[in-house]
Amino acid sequence: MAALTGAGWTTGPPACESLWVRVEDPSAAAGVRRRITVLAERLGFGADGLSRIHLAATEAATNLVKHARHGEMLLRIVRDGESAALEFLCVDRGPGITDVPVSRMDGYSTSGTLGLGLGAIERLADQSGLCSRPRAGTVLYARFRPRGTPAGAADPPFSGLTQPIEGEEECGDAFTARLLDGTVYAMLCDGLGHGPLAARAALEAVRGAHETSLPGRPADVLGHVHRRMGPTRGGAVAVAAVEPAAGRVRFAGLGNVAGWILGPERRYGMVSVPGIAGTHNERIREHSYDLPPGAAVVLHSDGLTSRWDLTDQLGLLGHDPLLIAAALLRDAGVRHDDRSVLAVTTSGWR
């Protein structure tokens, strides 16, 4: 399936541009390097860019093998309208890093840390980030932009992840988000079931969001998505409009996609209406919630349990939204199902 883009929208990549790889033995690094080369060449990276990507990805995979448990890497292309970037994401359940700032210093390396490799990855990548918790594990990302990307291009204040159920190549969940005039519009869909038919339903939900006139109400976006999904098997859908300057989140949902406001002291759940988007006579309701300063907004499918421990996740506030999404996918993605999570941060962009 080809990549789906819309003007101003960032959407989860299709299976041909996104791959989860288990990294648990020494031979894995060569496989990671081979697979990420295919994606990099698709974006037109030259010899210098490929060299940086190879070095960083090899360091990351090697460190997962040496120090982590249940290590995985996500290799993907992320498109935002006409622009694109190459990312890799490392997720593990290893011992974690006790002192992250010290671990960034060249020459520092002990069991359970990324040591020298972390400093190298930060220098080689255009952007990178790390979040680690002792006895829970580490998430690390690196982002590379092709030559010709405008200088100073800002990363959006949101990021999402999807992971198909084991045995399927296509994920039946999908997300899309857009920043417009100080508001992030975020949509996540969990297509009914798994595999290609669920993926088609979720793809139509993304198209429906892209076709909606903005600015607008989440209820209007959800209504358009609902109608667009009519010919499909349907699914659960949630739409949020995150407005830090106004201190509020507007939310509309059909079905069991979870919506959370993650504040400095506690999390708040947002209310969806029972039902299936794409079926007849579903009632859509919109609710408005207070948005505390510095809070994050999270949408996730029921492939993640809603019983994740808030005290473990409070340290995520202030981190890159990709790190928030990755940590939640690791810690809460315990169900045998397609998994998806979309995180929106609110600091520094109002």
Let me know if residue 153 belongs to a domain: no
pTM for this predicted structure: 0.90
Which pair of structure tokens corresponds to residue 251?
């939310």
Same domain, 246 and 298: yes
Let me know if residue 151 belongs to a domain: no
The residue to which tokens 């935002």 are assigned: 80
Same domain, 205 and 286: yes
Same domain, 225 and 140: no
Let me know if residue 2 belongs to a domain: no
Rounded percentage of the chain residues whose pLDDT exceeds 70: 87
Rounded percentage of the chain residues whose pLDDT exceeds 90: 66
> Nearest Cα to 74, choosing from 322, 324, 328?
322
Which has more pLDDT, 81 or 146? 146
Let me know if residue 350 belongs to a domain: no
Same domain, 222 and 118: no
Which pair of structure tokens corresponds to residue 113?
């840390």
Q: Looking at residue 120, what is its pLDDT?
A: 86
| Rounded Cα–Cα distance for residues 34 and 38 (Å) | 7
Which pair of structure tokens corresponds to residue 112?
């359970």
Same domain, 36 and 184: no
Which pair of structure tokens corresponds to residue 172?
């039946």
Same domain, 90 and 187: no
Q: Looking at residue 265, what is its pLDDT?
A: 82
Which has more pLDDT, 312 or 263? 263
> Nearest Cα to 90, choosing from 69, 106, 72?
72
**pLDDT of 130-180, one tens digit each?**
988 877 788 999 999 998 776 555 688 999 999 999 888 899 999 999 999
Same domain, 208 and 232: yes
Question: How many C-beta neighbours within 10 Å does residue 87 have?
Answer: 22
SS3 271: coil
The mean of the pLDDT values for the chain is 87
Same domain, 306 and 200: yes
CATH number, position 55: 3.30.565.10
Q: How confident is the model at residue 31 (pLDDT cuts 50, 70, 90)?
A: very high
Handedness of CA 142, 146, 149, 151 (dihedral sign): positive
pLDDT at 113 over 60: no
| Rounded Cα–Cα distance for residues 347 and 228 (Å) | 33
Same domain, 169 and 218: yes
Q: Looking at residue 137, what is its pLDDT?
A: 83
> Nearest Cα to 69, choosing from 22, 118, 128?
22
Lowest mean pLDDT among 73-77, 192-196, 252-256, 265-269: 265-269
Which has more pLDDT, 344 or 82? 344
Same domain, 251 and 336: yes
SS3 10: strand
CB contact at 8 A, 298 and 328: yes
Let me know if residue 34 belongs to a domain: yes
Q: What is the residue type of 39?
A: L
CATH number, position 175: 3.60.40.10
Q: Looking at residue 340, what is its pLDDT?
A: 97
Same domain, 111 and 212: no
**pLDDT of 306-339, one tens digit each?**
887 655 655 677 789 999 999 999 989 877 899 9
Domain boundary among 144, 171, 192: 144
Domain boundary among 118, 144, 170: 144
| Rounded Cα–Cα distance for residues 217 and 242 (Å) | 11
Let me know if residue 152 belongs to a domain: no
Let me know if residue 150 belongs to a domain: no
Same domain, 327 and 203: yes
Domain boundary among 85, 113, 144: 144
Count structural domains, the chain. Answer: 2
Let me know if residue 177 belongs to a domain: yes
Q: Give the largest CA-CA distance in the chain.
A: 63
Which has more pLDDT, 154 or 99? 154
Write out the residue range of the structural domain in which residue 134 sits.
9-144
